[in-house]
Amino acid sequence: MSTVIDNNAAGSFRNELASRFTAPLIRYFNRRIHDQAQAEDLTQEVLLRVIRAAESQSIVNAESYVFRAAANILNDHRRHARRHPTVNFDEFEQSPAAAVPVEFIDERSPERVAVGEATLDQVLRALGELAELTRNVFILFRLENMKQKDIAVLYGISQSTVEKHVVRALLHLAVRCGST
């Protein structure tokens, strides 16, 4: 059964889209990632992407479009997970306390706070030495988690130029603040 998604019926479309595709999408993601909460998050992301697409175009085959978007989002999720592995905190809970380094036990020790403040001050000074555009691009990308393509649109520059600003800022911070 092929369904046409028309951008003129946006209000009822959102409800119909959610009721029709939420359960199948959650099953689709659960079979692939085995994490209910993550499957629900990815499902919401798919629905949002389809709603945004329907605002600017008419979608001829809703089922195909929705699951193509789901496959793309799953691929993005997997790429992100490979680049940014998560820490399994269950391992910390099961390990004996003696195996945990002392500096992690009391996170608010005066020495740790002082070192943290000094490091933050050093990073802020180093950021202040950057050109305004480089600093702003870096802050939007690394601290605000804004996508490079969105930053490029915001400043009217190419995505390649955004990448160059981020690399320039990272190199400057590595030189000024030291990297390990």
Q: Which of 85, 86, 50, 52 is nearest to 71 (CA)?
A: 50
Find tokens 């600017």 and name the residue.
Answer: 56
Determine contact, residues 47/21, Cβ cutoff 8 Å: yes
Q: Residue 15 belongs to a domain with what CATH number?
A: 1.10.1740
Same domain, 25 and 76: yes
Judge whether 115 lies within some domain: yes
pLDDT tens-place string over residues 99-116: 555 555 556 677 777 777
pLDDT tens-place string over residues 16-75: 888 888 999 999 888 988 889 999 999 999 888 888 888 888 877 888 888 888 889 988
Judge whether 90 lies within some domain: no
Judge whether 92 lies within some domain: no
Judge whether 101 lies within some domain: no
The Cα-based distances of 169 to 11, 123, 154 in angstroms read 44, 11, 19
Please tell me the pTM assigned to this model: 0.45
Same domain, 16 and 69: yes
Same domain, 75 and 118: no
